[in-house]
Amino acid sequence: MNSKALLGSCGKLNLTFKRSFILIIIVMIGLVSITGCGSNNASIDLPKDFIQGFIAKHETMTDKSLVYYYVKSDRPEIAEQIEITCRINKSKGTLVILENATFDFSELQIELVDKKEQYVDDESVVFVKVAVKGNYKMQLSDETRRINANEIIILQLVRSEWKVTNTNNPWS
């Protein structure tokens, strides 16, 4: 075999290798995009019922179980806010009305903004930043209030349960 024939066959082999390599790269990129691997927001199911329950309890501030929506470090402050709000509403005669409020969240959008994993006390913790936008209705015994929402809520995954956090914010 002469040297030109040898170089020609090597060139064809090199071209075939390049095409195969490019094809493998394209397939890998496709798999990553389809499965969501490498995406920070992949595989997070937003706990929309939890968020809506939190909004309802936070709006009325009459239910002491609201404290359990928060991480432990935030609970004393929230419990105090609930106590103060209940005393004020009781003196106004609106406590019972607020306790019986119902909510319509059909016009509310809840979207994942970002996800971060961070170490807290030598433990890996998942945080999500959630945008709450749109409107929701609070039905009271004598009126319906349309409430505009444009909030960011930080959630922290604690022992497989989502909790709201005011103090642990990896974005600040």
Percent share of the chain, pLDDT over 90: 65
Q: In which band, very low, low, confident or very high, does the pLDDT at 26 lie, cut at 50, 70 and 90?
A: low
The pLDDT score that the predictor gives to residue 120 is 77
Q: 28 vs 15, 16, 31, 32, CA distance in Å?
A: 20, 18, 5, 6
Question: CB of 69 within 8 A of CB of 163?
Answer: yes
Kindly indicate the confidence band of residue 51, based on its pLDDT and cuts at 50, 70 and 90.
very high
Q: Please, which pLDDT band fits residue 25 given cuts at 50, 70 and 90?
A: low
> CA nearest 169: which of 26, 90, 71?
71
- Give the residue-averaged pLDDT of 136-164: 95
pLDDT on residue 59: 95
- Map residue 118 onto helix, strand or coil: strand
Q: What's the pLDDT score for residue 15?
A: 54
Categorize the per-residue pLDDT at 36 as very low, low, confident or very high, splitting at 50, 70 and 90: very low
Instruction: For 89-145, write each residue's pLDDT tens digit.
Output: 999 999 999 999 999 999 999 999 999 998 878 888 999 999 999 999 999 999 999
Specify which of 24-28, 94-98, 168-172 reaches the highest per-range mean pLDDT.
94-98
- Residue 89 is inside which H or E element, if any? helix 75-92
Confidence of residue 44 (pLDDT cuts 50, 70, 90): confident
